[in-house]
């Protein structure tokens, strides 16, 4: 008996020691997560502002070559530090955290070799659109306004650093396509004004929150006017002159990313990075061609259902041009988007058990970027809950914004698409911040496209034109697989890509040209949507097949979102575990940090 108690005591001590080591490993890992999160906020202050962290609202990211080198060295050091932690000794939840963090860091370090910082200006963003940051700032205190004034004071430094990077890009032959950069001079010119109150940077000073004393307002306005005229406008004038006379003539004639130094390896990297798979360009192109053919057949059925007598090409022209499909004014279009969102909201309980707590709103895309940007986008809420999510809609030229696209667009960008995905991620209370705010494109955009299709279960596609809109949006993402790989790996011209898009989808030419230019400017990113959606849909089909009558769509959708944004391989492992738990009735899917399951 004594020997039994001694053995038991030894086993107990051993178990306690193992638990202590386990806790120490977990603590070491989370300390690294917290350290890197803070470094990211400190070194990229704009990201801190987007997260609702206002500590760095008085500064911009340091774009000097020295600061870039320091950040790259710190990324490598973080990866080395992560690998000193014994993954096998971690809890299942922290193994997922470890794997996700390692995936991100490995690719952050790998892409350093492509020197992306040498192209600091794109046709959809750069210092010429820096005023857009004000959209997410609180402007609820005098300090908020003074922080913005400090940022305005510092803009000339940012622009000088940008000019240096542009010059280095020219030396290295790392420059963007001219067809995109021809859009940029007008964007820069919009910042060069004579009346400071017309500057986009002045917008926060037009209307003050009630919390700002009236005695302070005139002084803040006067400071803003002086800084804009003395600092901001001259800096943008300098950028404009440099851009048009020295940079634009040196941009490249070709559109393929493979024209860049080491460009083919770069495109292979981007395809893997965005899709989180090992699919190559040729495989993705083939998948795209197959999906385009499948969806065209479905479109033919819808065309027949509407009673339209012409060809599918003629039907597309009808959808693009008939006045019944368009609102006449920007205000009418915005009102319609807001009403549509309210129509969607009460139907969400049909396909989800868990509704995120964070609200969302609908806003117009700012006028100064609307002509060159996409149909809509989503801006996540602040990580501390102090700012809701926003669904931004493009009101530029309402005559090219058809009503039949509004339902799938809203399901994708707002609810239950990106808003659910980001808001649910923030509601993982035990997960590290990098997991709560993560954005893997294949998961996030795959979910958005999958969410468009949930409109059927929600009873929202009530007529054939709505259903045509859903197919048009799915076709849009299938076409991307073909034209992105076509332009960047198979020698397609911009005109051929536009023609292929036009032949296979009813989106208007304004959108099609903007989309093709987006794929030229951000190669590989557009591949993630359809690949991600197909993987999520395949997981759903697998769950239906293996669970039979036990399958619950609401529970499946919750299970997809409860991981937060992860690489597709991690999502597949999680859903496999969820299926097993549903089969056994255990109700536990496994390692999900912060899960409410």
Break the chain into its structural domains and give their ranges.
Answer: 23-114, 118-253, 266-532
575-595 average pLDDT score = 75
List the single range of 9-13, 34-38, 106-110, 490-494 with lowest mean pLDDT: 9-13
pLDDT for 14: 53
What percent of the chain stands above pLDDT 90?
A: 91
Residue 467 confidence (pLDDT) above 50? yes
- Classified as helix, coil or strand, 192 is coil
Residue 309 confidence (pLDDT) above 70? yes
Contacts of 27 (CB under 8 A, 6+ apart): none
Give the separation between CA 496 and CA 276, rounded to whole angstroms: 28
Give the separation between CA 497 and CA 483, rounded to whole angstroms: 5
Buried b (16+ CB within 10 A) or exposed e, 363-387: ebbbebbbebbbbbebbbbbbeeeb
216-223 average pLDDT score = 98
- Work out whether strand 360-364 and strand 376-379 pair parallel, antiparallel, or are unpaired: unpaired
pLDDT for 373: 84
451-471 average pLDDT score = 97
Residue 2 confidence (pLDDT) above 60? no
pLDDT for 186: 96
pLDDT for 369: 87
pLDDT for 374: 86
List the single range of 11-20, 109-118, 464-473 with lowest mean pLDDT: 11-20
Residue 329 confidence (pLDDT) above 60? yes
- Residue 54, token pair as written in the block: 């206002």
pLDDT for 6: 46
More confident site: 249 or 25 = 249
pLDDT for 594: 42
Give residue 18's pLDDT band: very low, low, confident or very high (50, 70, 90). low
503-511 average pLDDT score = 93
- Residue 364, token pair as written in the block: 């117009």
378-384 average pLDDT score = 94
pLDDT for 5: 42
Residue 125 backbone dihedrals phi, psi, to 5 degrees: 175, 160
| Residue from 297, 277, 269 nearest 538 by CA | 277
Residue 12 confidence (pLDDT) above 60? no
pLDDT for 587: 61
381-396 average pLDDT score = 95
Contacts of 283 (CB under 8 A, 6+ apart): none
């Amino acid at each position: 008996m004594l020997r039994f108690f001694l053995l038991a005591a030894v086993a107990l001590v051993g178990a306690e020691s193992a638990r202590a080591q386990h806790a120490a490993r977990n603590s070491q890992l989370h300390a690294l997560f917290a350290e890197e999160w803070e470094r990211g906020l400190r070194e990229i202050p704009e990201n801190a502002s987007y997260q609702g962290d206002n500590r760095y609202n008085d500064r911009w990211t340091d774009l000097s070559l020295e600061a870039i080198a320091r950040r790259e060295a710190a990324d490598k050091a973080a990866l080395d530090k992560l690998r000193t932690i014994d993954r096998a000794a971690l809890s299942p939840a922290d193994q997922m955290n470890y794997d996700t963090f390692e995936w991100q860091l490995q690719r952050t370090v790998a892409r350093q070799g492509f020197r992306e910082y040498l192209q600091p200006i794109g046709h959809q963003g750069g210092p010429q659109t820096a005023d857009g940051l004000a959209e997410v700032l609180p402007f609820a205190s005098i300090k908020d306004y003074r922080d913005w004034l400090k940022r305005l004071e510092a803009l000339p430094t940012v622009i000088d650093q940008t000019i240096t990077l542009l010059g280095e890009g020219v030396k290295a032959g790392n420059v963007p396509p001219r067809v995109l950069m021809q859009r940029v001079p007008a964007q820069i010119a919009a910042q060069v004004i004579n009346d400071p109150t017309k500057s986009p940077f002045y917008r926060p000073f037009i209307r003050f929150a009630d919390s700002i004393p009236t005695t302070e307002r005139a002084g803040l306005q006067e400071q803003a006017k002086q800084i804009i005229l003395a600092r901001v406008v001259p800096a943008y004038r300098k950028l404009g002159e440099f851009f048009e006379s020295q940079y634009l003539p040196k941009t490249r004639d070709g559109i393929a990313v493979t024209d860049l130094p080491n460009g083919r390896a770069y495109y292979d990297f981007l395809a893997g990075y965005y899709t989180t798979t090992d699919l190559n360009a040729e495989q993705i192109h083939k998948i795209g061609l197959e999906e385009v053919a499948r969806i065209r057949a479905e479109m033919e059925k819808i065309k027949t259902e509407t009673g339209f007598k012409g060809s599918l090409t003629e039907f597309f022209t009808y959808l693009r041009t008939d006045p019944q499909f368009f609102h006449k004014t920007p205000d009418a279009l915005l009102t319609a988007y807001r009403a549509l969102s309210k129509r969607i909201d009460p139907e969400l309980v049909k396909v989800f058990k868990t509704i995120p707590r964070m609200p969302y709103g609908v806003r117009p895309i700012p006028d100064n970027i609307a002509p060159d940007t996409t149909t809509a986008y989503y801006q996540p809420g602040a990580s501390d809950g102090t700012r809701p999510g926003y669904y931004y809609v493009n009101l530029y030229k309402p005559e090219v914004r058809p009503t039949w696209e509004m339902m799938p667009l809203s399901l994708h960008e707002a609810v239950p698409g990106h808003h659910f995905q980001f808001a649910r991620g923030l509601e993982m209370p035990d997960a590290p911040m990098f997991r709560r705010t993560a954005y893997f494109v294949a998961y996030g955009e795959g979910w958005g496209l999958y969410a468009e299709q949930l409109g059927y279960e929600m009873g929202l596609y009530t007529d054939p034109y709505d259903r045509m809109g859903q197919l048009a949006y799915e076709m849009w993402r299938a076409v991307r697989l073909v034209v992105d790989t076509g332009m960047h790996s198979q020698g397609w011209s911009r005109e051929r890509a536009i023609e292929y898009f036009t032949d296979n989808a009813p989106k208007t030419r304004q959108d099609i040209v903007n989309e093709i230019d987006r794929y030229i400017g951000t190669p590989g990113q557009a591949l993630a949507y359809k690949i991600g959606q197909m993987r999520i849909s395949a997981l759903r089909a697998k769950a239906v097949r293996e669970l039979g009558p036990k399958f619950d769509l609401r529970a499946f959708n919750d299970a997809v979102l409860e991981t937060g944004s992860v690489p597709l391989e991690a999502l597949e492992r999680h859903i496999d575990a969820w299926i097993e738990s549903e089969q056994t009735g255990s109700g536990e899917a496994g390692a999900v940090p912060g899960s409410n399951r």
